Each structure stands twice: as C-alpha cells, then as structure tokens.
Amino acid sequence: MSRTLHLALHPYGVGGPGQHGLWKDPRVAKNASIDINYYIRQAKAAEHALFDALFIVDSQFIDATYPAHYLNRLEPLTLLSAVATHTRHVGLVGTASSTYNSPFNLARRFASLDHISGGRAGWNVVTSFDTGASRNFGLEEHLDYTTRYRRALEFVRVARGLWDSYEDDAFPADVERDLFLDPAKLHRLDHEGEHFKVAGPLNLSRSPQGQPVIFQAGVSEEGRDLAARVAEGIYAPGGSLEQAREYYADIKRRTAAHGRDPERIKIFIHGGPVVAATDEAARRREREIFEEDDDFDRNLALLGRSFGAYDFGAHDLDAPFPDVAHLAEKGGRTGAAKIIARATAEHLTLRQVAESIGEFRRAPFVGAPETVADTIERWFSAGAFDGINLAFRTDDDLGLFVDGVVPILQRRGLYRTEYRADTLRGNLGLPVPVNRWTSAEARA
C-alpha cells in the first residue's frame, strides 16, 4: 500500500478519565503514574513493536474528584527526557499548555528534549480548558476560548521562530580559524505580537529533525483551524467510522485551504483495543471493564470538567439540567455545547446527563486478533485516520495487541517491519523544515 499505518502508545498509569477503577487492578502498581521505570518499560515495549511515539498527556489543575492518574503524575518533559536515554527510535510527544507557559522557556525545553533524544521530540499543543489552572499561575480568570486559540497560534509561531535561531551550519568549530560560531548564521527573532514580545535568539542549535513535531487535539472550529494552520500530527476524537471520516476529510480540506500539503499532517484517533482469543471473550472482557470503571460520582465529576471543573453536586440531580452554558466559554466549549444540546432536546435531568456520560458504548477495536486487524484495516482504508493513539490498561493487554494484531497488520503490508529513520519526523514521513533564514537566503 502507498500509505503506512502509524501507531502511538498512550500510557494510562493508574487510570485516567473512563478508567476510574484501574488502580484497583492487582496487575497495576499503585505508584505507576510516578514511577519512571513504568514509563521506560512502556516506551521500550512501544519501540519493540515499532510504534511511532510514546504520548504523555498533562494538565495543570486538579481537585479530589479527578481520576487517579491525574492526581499524582510526573511532568511530561522531565519524564520524556529520562525515557529518551533508554530508547533509540520511538518518538517522545509531551503535552504542554500554550496558555500557561512562555514561548522562550517552552521552546528551549522542547529543543533540549529534541537534542537529548536525537531528534524524536514532539509537542502536543493544548490551550487548557480547566479554568482552575488560572489560579495556579496568579491569574484571577481563565482566558476565554477565542483568546486562548489566538494565543496558541502566536505561541507556536514564536516557538518555531526561536527554533530557527541558528542555521544548520552555524557552528563550524574551526580551531585553525578560531571560529566556533559563524555570527552570520545566528538570528534574533524580534517578535512583537498581540500576546508576546520575544527578542531571541534561542541558545540552542537545531536538532537532527530540524524542529520538534507539532501535535494538536482540537475538535472545535478554532481547534480545527489551529490544527490546519500549524499541526503536523493530530490527536482526533474518533467516535464512529462516519465521524472519524468526517473529521479526517475536514482537517485535510482545511490544511489544503491554508496552502499546506495535506499529506504532511498525520491524524491519529484514540483507540483502546480489547484483544482476546475469541470475539466473544473480548466482548465479555469489554463489558467487565465497563463495570469495573462505572461510578456515578466520578461520572458527575467528569461531566463538570467540560464546564471548567464545575461542581454539579450542588444541584438537584432529578431537576432539569441546569443552565450552565456561560461556563462553557472558558472550559471545553465543543463538548459542553453537545451536552447542553442533548439535554435540552431530550429534556434530560442532571442525573440522566451524568449517567449518559458513563453509559456503555461498544468500541470498534474489540475481538480476536484477526477481527481487530480487520477493523483497523477497514477504517484505515476508508480514510478515517493515518494512525491510532493506543491505550492499554495493563502490560498484558499491550502484549496481546503487539503479539497478536501487529504481525497480522505487517503481513498485510499495512504496518512497517522496521523503523525507516532515527527521528520522529522520519518515521512519520514528514520533511525536515528548512531554516527560514537559509530559505530566505536561497530565495534571494
């Protein structure tokens, strides 16, 4: 096939949203989310299976209702820097907020990870929808939705400008000429925009892949537009085959409309495969997982996250869903809007809405290895994704997928049998970006 399937691994630790009961599983270490050896093992397993990347999520606000993994976990860039020294090929993608960071500091940290890993770093750009994060950074209010996305766009452009501070041949280190740096190859940024004023230059050269790969995970209009403008990888919501195809086609259209090559943006959907010896056993296990994790109070708290970590516990559960639309603007607006629309159309109570958040839904990638491989091939061929961001509850579950499903995908020519490069860009089939100053000189 002309297209190659991409796979990434998203470690759960002791359990994130929708895996509330995972920490109780005797196979899961209670300190997994803060144990660097857990992440090193996960990364090595991903690399053994020729995965493109290890993906680490993050947020900067919690309260006692948050999932276990969120309550006690390592900072992504520190974590990935440690993992980098134990791996050689797998990409290392960390989540960092454009709302609660400064461009110079974050650009330097990701560039450092890129050097430490030999060109395997990726940045998942988020704008933070937890409104409580503002109070952790000395701010009274969380920025509104539109402002957060305008800031994110400018932030990425500033970071990319800083990553181009040095041209590729800026350091001749010529002892005979007494020339360590060619000063003509060093460039200030001197950026002045709506949100940032950054002089530069960055005190770090470009890595073997030129710049870290930019990922993004937006579903709103603003999020999709940001992705089409700057992203090279996307973590998409998934859903049904039809929904995934719509999202995929929409992002590719928007990317082309912004003058970019749609092939240079790789779309990953979320996938939590359940693999067993037979389809029946896998579906049975899928139901067991749901029952292990089902908890009304946790679902109510999860509902609140879409509205800026709002506490719905103060409301009558059996009264109509409360009017909280004003909270969505500074939270997860797209998801919140869908919740409100359904509650209004179906005249649902707060209890019914919370129950619907946690209701059982059949997942697509469940079954015997051949069945799961069939589904992946069908979705991939139908233009639903370029890759899957995989999440497994335990090491055993990861092993069942790697040993059972991956060989089938390889035999069908869908998935690689060896790494094609040492960098994240190389394995994703993305070009090394030409330094803007070198490019300008060539044009001149």
DSSP letter string, 143-189: PPHHHHHHHHHHHHHHHHHHHTSB-TT----BTTTTBSS-GGGB---
The ranges of the chain annotated as CATH 3.20.20.30 are 6-277+364-443
Distances (CA, A) of 52 to 73, 120, 135, 203, 387: 23, 10, 36, 29, 9
Give burial (CB, 10 Å; 0-12/13-18/19+) of 393: buried
Give burial (CB, 10 Å; 0-12/13-18/19+) of 213: buried
Which position has the token pair 């995934």? 244
CA distance 162 to 204: 9
Relative to beta strand 197-198, strand 191-192 is: antiparallel
Closest by CA to 158, choosing from 92, 75, 102, 237, is 102
CA distance 75 to 443: 42
Q: What is the pLDDT of residue 1?
A: 47
Task: Answer yes or no: are the C-beta atoms of 125 and 158 closer than 8 Å.
Answer: no
**Enclosing H/E stretch for 257:** helix 241-257
Q: What is the pLDDT of residue 309?
A: 75
**Enclosing H/E stretch for 376:** helix 369-381
Task: Answer yes or no: are the C-beta atoms of 407 and 103 closer than 8 Å.
Answer: no
CA distance 148 to 354: 28
Enter the tokens of residue 295: 């908890």
CATH for 6-277+364-443, options being 3.90.1150.10, 3.40.50.2020, 3.60.21.10, 3.20.20.30: 3.20.20.30
**Enclosing H/E stretch for 438:** helix 436-443
Task: Answer yes or no: are the C-beta atoms of 43 and 90 closer than 8 Å.
Answer: yes
CA distance 317 to 396: 39
Per-residue pLDDT of the chain (444 residues; tens, 9 = 90+): 478 999 999 999 999 887 888 999 999 999 999 999 999 999 999 999 999 999 999 999 998 888 999 999 999 999 999 999 999 999 999 999 999 999 999 999 999 999 999 999 999 999 987 778 888 898 888 888 889 999 999 999 999 999 999 999 999 999 999 999 999 999 999 999 999 999 999 999 999 999 999 999 878 899 999 999 999 999 998 889 999 999 999 999 999 999 999 999 999 999 999 999 999 999 999 999 998 888 888 888 888 877 877 888 889 999 999 988 887 665 566 778 888 988 899 998 999 998 887 778 899 999 999 999 999 999 999 999 999 999 999 999 999 999 999 999 999 999 999 999 999 999 999 999 999 999 877 777
Position 28: which residue type? V
Closest by CA to 362, choosing from 233, 224, 185, 239, is 239
CA distance 312 to 343: 15
The distance in angstroms from the start CA to the end CA of the chain is 40
**Enclosing H/E stretch for 367:** strand 366-367
Instruction: Report the phi/psi class of residue 308: left, alpha or beta, with left for phi > 0 and alpha for psi in -120 to 50.
Output: left
CA distance 376 to 374: 6
Which position has the token pair 């991939």? 380
Calculate Rg over the CA atoms of the chain: 22
Task: Answer yes or no: are the C-beta atoms of 220 and 226 closer than 8 Å.
Answer: no
Enter the tokens of residue 53: 């990347």
Angle of helix 36-48 relative to helix 395-404, nearest 10 degrees, comes to 10
Enter the tokens of residue 386: 């370029």
Q: What is the pLDDT of residue 131?
A: 79
Task: Answer yes or no: are the C-beta atoms of 149 and 222 closer than 8 Å.
Answer: yes
Q: What is the pLDDT of residue 163?
A: 98
